[in-house]
Structure 1
Amino acid sequence: MNNKIKIKSLLLKVIKYIEHRNMKNKDQIIKLMINFKKSKRTQVNNLIGIMADFENYKKRIDKNQKISRENAKKNLLLELLSLAEDFNRCFNSKTDKNMNIFKEGIKIINRKLWHLLKQEGIQKINSKKGDVFNTDIHEAVSIQTITKPELKGKILHIIESGYSLNKKIIKYTKVIVGKEKTNE
């Protein structure tokens, strides 16, 4: 009698797990469970325990990652709030008498902002006028006809700088590229 209670308990655990995971063919799995020998049932019971432990592990990891992301976001927002407060102080002191203080305040805020971005892993992509156009780091926003053949395929103007985050491009450098005039 005790053995039947254990089997029923085991089957109920398996059924709950199968239903929880929305597994297909649960009827076939249940029939197979009934036919298992006692040693096989123990192995399956252990397997179910391991699977449950793994599910709990995944949930714990997901929770920890969520907390880490929230903390990182909070820290970045606190830094940005500090910059916003600096802007407020700077604009509140804007009078003709304090124009130099205003300009110095803007310069300080600019330095702090770029320092924060650098701390977070942002790096400027170094491109300059005359560089060869490279689609891996540049985005051509316009093509300009040129008279000098040596400027073909080269950057004529930089419209906006590009940036990378931890060596991965997040914003391409926007450029105007030179193209030879065609005789059509």
Structure 2
Amino acid sequence: MNNNNQMNIKSRLLKLIKYIEHRNIKTKEQILKLMVTFKKYKRTKINKLIGILAEFENYKKRIEKNQKIIRENAKKNLLLELLSLAEDFNRCFNSNKDKNLHIFKEGIKIINRKLWNLLKKEGIKKINSKKGDVFNTDIHEAVSIQTIKKPELKGKILNIIESGYSLNKKIIKYTKVIVGKVGKEIKPNE
């Protein structure tokens, strides 16, 4: 037994002795009756604690089940919208492309617009970056660094390779860019 347990037991015994002295309990029967009462009280408290723990476990299970249902419904709704887009693509490609090229192109434009509207509705936003902006590691990913002659373009975006996107204000895809770096110009025959 470690010292903490021994101290704890001694402390409890001292409290019990003080209680017995304070209540003026002198007989063995009175002490036994007090101990039985204490055990019942302790058992009641333990049973209440067990009940609370069981309720908490049930609550956690209900919450997990509800979250799973919410995720499944959100996934189902998104997939239904994507299926609608896939069917639009099928209709577009199965139309007679050669005779109605203009209609085919319009169909592709409509599908593209529907897809971007769906992404926007789901919380996707394009990160607005353009040539000449200062390179920012919070929203940009440098895929290449290009040596430049103009010092004013140092650390600035020279070209955008791929757009970046955020989902509910959190970056999910960084804008891929080429960044300018001032370097020594190399002359031929040096």
Q: Classify the TM-score, shorter chain.
A: 0.7 to 0.9
Q: Percent identity?
A: 85
Give the structure 2 partner of residue 55 of structure 1: 57
Paired letter, 2:109: K
CA distance in structure 2 between the partners assigned to 1:42 and 1:183 by the alignment: 86
Q: Secondary structure at the match of 1:56?
A: helix
Distance apart, 1:94 and its partner CA: 3.7
Give the structure 2 partner of residue 112 of structure 1: 114
Q: Secondary structure at the match of 1:37?
A: helix
Unpaired runs of 5+ residues, structure 1, are 1-35
Distance apart, 1:182 and its partner CA: 3.5
1:108-147 to 2 correspondences below 5 Å = 108-147=110-149
Larger radius of gyration: 2
Distance apart, 1:37 and its partner CA: 0.9
Q: How many residues align?
A: 151
Give the structure 2 partner of residue 68 of structure 1: 70
- Kindly indicate whether the alpha-carbon contact (under 8 Å) linking 2:157 and 2:177 is maintained by their aligned counterparts in 1: yes
Q: Deviations over 1:84-138 (max 9, x none)?
A: 0000000001422111110000000000000000000000000000000000000
Q: Secondary structure at the match of 2:82?
A: helix
CA distance in structure 1 between the partners assigned to 2:69 and 2:97 by the alignment: 44
Distance apart, 1:183 and its partner CA: 7.0
Report the aligned-residue RMSD.
1.7
CA distance in structure 2 between the partners assigned to 1:152 and 1:38 by the alignment: 79
TM-score, normalised to structure 1's length?
0.79
TM-score, normalised to structure 2's length?
0.77
Q: Secondary structure at the match of 1:109?
A: helix
Paired letter, 1:137: I
